[in-house]
Structure 1
Amino acid sequence: MTNISSNTGRIPKPRTKTFTGCWTCRDRRVKCDDEHPHCRRCRRSGWVCKGYGLRLGWDQTPGGRSHRRQLWPLAPYGDQALSSAAVSALLTELDGCSGDGCAQQRGPFSVFSVLSSSDLNHVASVDRSIPDIVLSQESEETHQSSSDVNTIVSSIGDKESDLASPEPLSDALSTTTATSTSDPSEDLQAGSPEPACQVDHHRITSIDHVADHQKPGNQLLSDYNIRRSNPYTVETDTLLWNYINPIVLPRPETELVHHWVVFLSGNMLLIDTPDNPCRTVFMPLALKGLDASPNESNIHLSIFHAICASSAFSLFHLRQNPRYHSIAMHHDQLALRHLRTNLQRARCLDEPTLAAVLTCITAEAMSGRRSRWRTHVAGCLGLLENQAHGDWIRNPIASRLLQSYLSLSSLCSLRLSGRLMALLDGPSDLRHYLERSHGVTTQLVQFLAQITALAESQTQLSTEELDRFELQLYLNFPCLSNPDAPGSMIVQHALNSFYYATIVYFRRNLRCAPLWDVQDLIEKAIIEIEAVDSLTRDKGGCPYNWASFVVAADCERPDLQDRMLAFFDRKSRHGIQNINVLCEIVQALWNRRAAAGPHVDIQWQEIAREADFDIMLV
């Protein structure tokens, strides 16, 4: 409609809009002559010409969408010359459109619909769901359930027992700020509240879906089995992603997996070889669980969470950051829950189940907790007794897992049957696996099992029988199976220290020798222990701690005690809290002997059986 002026009767000139001109003239809302690089009007008027470059505007609402007119490519309309009148007509039509929820477009121009506040909140929530783009700054704390965790893991002991469903474990997060940090060596007894430490809500809840498999609706956008594509990935990267088949993990779990692969894997074994089972066996089994449905529990998820718990406990002891303790307890609960759930429905023992038990034992060693480790170590023996005849035990992977588990059980003074003891030998090509991995031979483990059985049975052996047994020890001095292998000298010194510790163990428990009578053997063992550290320049891995504990426990001379304290201090860099707790037990034993006097002989077994000192010796 046209408006006729009442004064002149002339039709007013239509108002035109320009999309060119320098930014100074646009800001002043005056006509620009479009002269480049600086317009003549600005120069003549004394204004600073801001040029004709492209400007970007940032929306002030996080997660919101811009209300500016969207710039569309002009290619489809490049050949169509629009007159000023046509442009004005299009813009007038678009400006008059109502916010009916639909975007409007006319020619090369368009406007967006007006979004309501609820729409803006929905858009913002969707944008925030993308991990690592917008991170919440709020922190929350994990409060562990007071349910009896020992009740959960006690189902490992007997496959045929009637296993009730697991007690519900609270994964709720509290916003209360932590006021204190619990002692990492404090025993986490059943029913006692776990320490509440500050932890990122988005980081720790991103893995809840793998625990609550009974809740079909519990599906998060960060589910492990979803292959999310990066919205910023260019097309040239598509082929690369297809080849490597990436697994997307939340940031804390990525850090924990990195710590396991790069740090812990090399520190838990004496020699870090390319076929280190921590990387080549446990990690593939753990990551296999992430490909499963988020609504189902599987034994591989128990391995994954136990690995994460082990790494978080290790990082907590290395960095003293309470956040890692909360994450460790969270993953520890999930590992136990998946282990129990899958043991209930397992028909037979297999490699993944054995790996799950071993990783849970590893988490106990990293945490340094008392007593609870025994449930894991002893529980699987009952299952293994029923499956010792299976063909799977001859598999190379299964053989390595069995040798580690059975030797660990024997060093923890758990009695093994003859059938299980025979499994320690393994196939011919893996018969000497324990040498390079844990610094012990199968023969020494078998000797230790016999000594423990005789000591606990309190059988009175004659002097001739004890002489024959000790002679067998002297005839089985450990010799390397492959002396030309890399690191053979390190392995030999580790075997020697274990050998001298075994003789000390025999003489103290069966011969009832006094402390002063074994100090020469103690010194020989310490020399071998120090030689391992010297050859590795204190950068080597950690063999079984049984030998160093036995040697340190029976140290009587102050100089030897100081050398063992220095050894434990060097080993604290491994991030294995179990080593620090063993040092505490040794010092408590020394103090008790000093208080009792020189005529009272206190055995380390007496203090190790107490609840406060019931620690795993490996």
Structure 2
Amino acid sequence: MPKVTSQRTFTACWTCRRRNIRCGNAQPTCSQCKSSGLECEGYDIRLVWVDQETGTYLPRQRRLYSCDATWKGYPGWTSKQVDHLIQQCELRQCRCALHQVPSPFTIFTLPTESIDDSIEATSEEEQDREHYGLSVTPSGCPSSEARDFCNVSSTSASVSEYDDLVHASDSAELDLLPSPTSQADLILEGRPRPERCRSSHGRGARNSRTAKWSTWLLNLLHEPSSMLAQTHDESRLFHHYTSYLSTQMVPIDSAHNPWRSTYPVIAAHQALSSNQRSRSLYHAIIAMSGLHLANLKGSEHGTYEVMTATRYYGMALRSVRESLSEPTAGDYNCVLAALIVMILAEHAFEAAGSSRGWRTHLAGGLRFIMHHLAQDRNPWARGHDAWVMTQTLAMFAIIAQTTSNHSTTSTGSLSEIRHVLHDAMAHPRFGYTVGGNARLLNAIYQVRHLEEQITMARAVQDAAADAPIRREAEKIMRELHISACDDDVDTYLSGTDTSSKMRGQVKMHLDLFAASIRIYCQRNVLHAPPSAVVDYVHQVLTLANALMDADCGAVFIWPVMVAAVEAYTPESQALARRFFDRAEKRGGANRKAMHRVIRQVWTDRERLASECCCDSGDVAIDWREVMESLGVDILLL
């Protein structure tokens, strides 16, 4: 009998290819993997580098794209146009129509300065050391060295300059959706997103260890699967985090963004570890990235990402529990970072509003800080990374208190960590990751404290205590009337060389914060009606929409929520709807829950105004009571 030959089609999933068995080719998980209880690694095209000297490459992977796959999604350029794109890609100066659309012709620059044995600190690090009395070489987690490279960097090779490389390296992985019609669709296809405002500034020469880190990080961004991840899902989701999500988590994506420097570098260290307990942050980032990507895809297309994120969230939770049961000094940065990411993953990106787990994680993080505080006077002074984690959790605690109904919160609920809060807020750059500063976050903290005091005074009918509380509130209001000045902007940017456009956006964020705190103070301490804050409400919502139009990063949601619930005029309500309609499409599930609460507040106010035959601006409603009646619990992050 003649031998039967078959032609290989290369359509099997990667798991079946590795096992050398016939694949069912089902989407998204093949029947063979499902029946065997194995994780299906999917059908994506994987590219590898071919060694130029030996011609060898990793087996079972593709060496090149077909022509159609390579140029999919790009215009049909002529040879002359392609030559122009290639010639101009290094100069980055041409502004013709060809350069207004994403192009595969991009470059990255490598360090050209000599490598020195000394490290010249950034102005930010110098401020930290001066404030805390730190030594030149931070102790503890080795991520401090990596952060030196990532945060700004030295050389012209900062993380932001690898964006094009990062986006191009994974362009075929998510090509399962229709042709892109929005920014989210462009992201899902892996295409380069439009350049947003960024900044970098030069630093002195680096030592040899930092040069090694630059090579390592370049490899990490270029080929994360070979550097870190054991599975395709980890590589894909870690890439989504580093290339997109991390840039969307701060108002101004400058070189000081810890979400794309501090957090991923610590996570990368963990990914290289064989100890599962030490990989809590890495797993938490994978989970958060998966949930964000699922929200971008929608419920119909994001089921697989939700399942993957749930699995990694469970692994992160288990690792954190083990670390909390036996805390050590070396765990401080990693555990706090994991808890912070888990709070955001469970609340901001999962089914927001229905979850109460974020409060448990927040309380656990505060207890963890107190445990280390008992052994070390200021654990956050160990290095820049420790301060970043501590100030972030302290900021979460301040914002969380404002979302609790005053009837369920006792005075001094933050008293146990008051020392931590005061020390963290003493740093001038406290709050920069949410678009605020130490002065503004401290004002929120003080107003919340006054709100608790006046509630307790009225509960015991102590009229004498009412007047001094009101005077203190009016003093805070007067201080907030001072608009953000150049010194505030300089402190926020920490000496980074920036454009006038970026400086203007920073000032808008600071003014947004100040106006919303005035609303919060008047409504919750002075008990003024919505009509008394109508101008502030319009100012906040106008600024929020302007920042959203600029597409320069995240708009911190607390100021917008505080203003939107007090909107009663058609103009202000239209601005609020416009903002939240767009915010809901950016992958944050808690935006939908907030919008629901806001609409319910508006409905209740209109109903009460109709029943009382009065103007809507005279009807005061506590939005936190509405939130409680709806059965949701929102952290405004």
- Do both proteins adopt the same fold according to a TM-score greater than 0.5, normalized to the shorter chain? yes
Offset of residue 358 of structure 1:
0.9
Distance of aligned partners of 1:524 and 1:426 in 2 relative to their CA distance in 1, 3 Å threshold: same
User: Take 2:389 and 2:228, find their aligned partners in 1: how far apart are those partners?
Assistant: 26
The yes-or-no answer on 1:609 pairing with 2:628 is yes
The yes-or-no answer on 1:298 pairing with 2:277 is yes
Offset of residue 333 of structure 1:
1.6
The yes-or-no answer on 1:231 pairing with 2:250 is no
For the 8 Å contact 1:257–1:311, the answer to whether it is kept is yes
User: Take 1:472 and 1:426, find their aligned partners in 2: how far apart are those partners?
Assistant: 17
1:565 match: secondary structure: helix
Structure 2: runs of 5+ lacking an equivalent: 43-55, 63-214, 220-225, 403-412, 458-464, 610-615
Which of 440, 443, 446 is the equivalent residue of 2:439?
Answer: 443
The yes-or-no answer on 1:525 pairing with 2:544 is no
2:425 match: secondary structure: coil
Superposed counterparts of 1:38-437, under 5 Å: 128=16, 130=18, 137=25, 201-203=39-41, 230-231=58-59, 244=219, 246-293=227-274, 296-299=275-278, 301-320=279-298, 321=301, 322-348=303-329, 350-364=332-346, 365-370=348-353, 371-388=356-373, 389-413=377-401, 415-416=413-414, 417-425=417-425, 431-432=428-429, 434-435=431-432, 437=433
1:380 match: secondary structure: helix
The yes-or-no answer on 1:490 pairing with 2:505 is yes
For the 8 Å contact 1:313–1:367, the answer to whether it is kept is yes
Offset of residue 292 of structure 1:
2.4
For the 8 Å contact 1:403–1:426, the answer to whether it is kept is no
1:31-84: CA deviations, max 9, x gaps? xxxxxxxxxxxxxxxxxxxxxxxxx99567999xxxxxxxxxxxxxxxxxxxxx
Name the TM-score, length of structure 2 as normaliser: 0.58
User: Take 2:387 and 2:523, find their aligned partners in 1: how far apart are those partners?
Assistant: 33
Distance of aligned partners of 1:508 and 1:271 in 2 relative to their CA distance in 1, 3 Å threshold: same
User: Take 1:243 and 1:541, find their aligned partners in 2: how far apart are those partners?
Assistant: 24
1:424 match: secondary structure: helix
**Identity among equivalent pairs (%):** 22
Offset of residue 138 of structure 1:
5.1
Offset of residue 407 of structure 1:
1.1
2:25 match: secondary structure: coil
The yes-or-no answer on 1:472 pairing with 2:476 is yes
For the 8 Å contact 2:283–2:316, the answer to whether it is kept is yes
Structure 1: runs of 5+ lacking an equivalent: 1-26, 28-55, 64-123, 142-172, 177-198, 205-227, 235-239
For the 8 Å contact 1:306–1:356, the answer to whether it is kept is yes
For the 8 Å contact 1:368–1:576, the answer to whether it is kept is no
User: Take 1:336 and 1:543, find their aligned partners in 2: how far apart are those partners?
Assistant: 29
Distance of aligned partners of 1:464 and 1:454 in 2 relative to their CA distance in 1, 3 Å threshold: closer
Counterpart residue number, 1:74:
none
Offset of residue 140 of structure 1:
8.3
1:243-286: CA deviations, max 9, x gaps? 94733442222221111111111111001112321121111222
Distance of aligned partners of 1:251 and 1:135 in 2 relative to their CA distance in 1, 3 Å threshold: farther
Q: Aligned letter for 1:290?
A: A
Offset of residue 200 of structure 1:
8.2
Distance of aligned partners of 1:582 and 1:126 in 2 relative to their CA distance in 1, 3 Å threshold: closer
User: Take 2:58 and 2:235, find their aligned partners in 1: how far apart are those partners?
Assistant: 17
Offset of residue 494 of structure 1:
1.0
RMSD (Å), alpha carbons: 3.8
User: Take 1:135 and 1:610, find their aligned partners in 2: how far apart are those partners?
Assistant: 51
The yes-or-no answer on 1:551 pairing with 2:563 is yes
User: Take 2:20 and 2:260, find their aligned partners in 1: how far apart are those partners?
Assistant: 27
Counterpart residue number, 1:501:
516
User: Take 1:495 and 1:136, find their aligned partners in 2: how far apart are those partners?
Assistant: 56
Q: Aligned letter for 2:352?
A: R
Q: Higher Cα Rg: structure 1 or 2?
A: 1
Number of equivalences: 415
Q: Aligned letter for 2:270?
A: G
Distance of aligned partners of 1:399 and 1:125 in 2 relative to their CA distance in 1, 3 Å threshold: closer
Offset of residue 547 of structure 1:
0.4
1:188-236: CA deviations, max 9, x gaps? xxxxxxxxxxx983249xxxxxxxxxxxxxxxxxxxxxxx9823799xx
Offset of residue 518 of structure 1:
1.1
Q: Aligned letter for 1:594?
A: E
User: Take 1:291 and 1:355, find their aligned partners in 2: how far apart are those partners?
Assistant: 17
Distance of aligned partners of 1:233 and 1:317 in 2 relative to their CA distance in 1, 3 Å threshold: closer
User: Take 1:589 and 1:318, find their aligned partners in 2: how far apart are those partners?
Assistant: 27
Distance of aligned partners of 1:200 and 1:277 in 2 relative to their CA distance in 1, 3 Å threshold: farther
User: Take 2:4 and 2:35, find their aligned partners in 1: how far apart are those partners?
Assistant: 37
1:495 match: secondary structure: helix
Offset of residue 298 of structure 1:
1.8
Q: Aligned letter for 1:303?
A: L
Distance of aligned partners of 1:540 and 1:274 in 2 relative to their CA distance in 1, 3 Å threshold: same
For the 8 Å contact 2:431–2:441, the answer to whether it is kept is no
Q: Aligned letter for 2:535?
A: D
For the 8 Å contact 1:297–1:341, the answer to whether it is kept is no
Counterpart residue number, 2:184:
none
User: Take 1:242 and 1:603, find their aligned partners in 2: how far apart are those partners?
Assistant: 49
Offset of residue 445 of structure 1:
1.4
Offset of residue 302 of structure 1:
1.6
- Bigger drift between 486-495 and 605-614 goes to 605-614
Distance of aligned partners of 1:390 and 1:558 in 2 relative to their CA distance in 1, 3 Å threshold: same
For the 8 Å contact 1:394–1:426, the answer to whether it is kept is no
Distance of aligned partners of 1:132 and 1:454 in 2 relative to their CA distance in 1, 3 Å threshold: farther
Distance of aligned partners of 1:573 and 1:393 in 2 relative to their CA distance in 1, 3 Å threshold: farther
User: Take 2:253 and 2:469, find their aligned partners in 1: how far apart are those partners?
Assistant: 40
Offset of residue 325 of structure 1:
1.6
More helix by share: 2
For the 8 Å contact 2:291–2:345, the answer to whether it is kept is yes
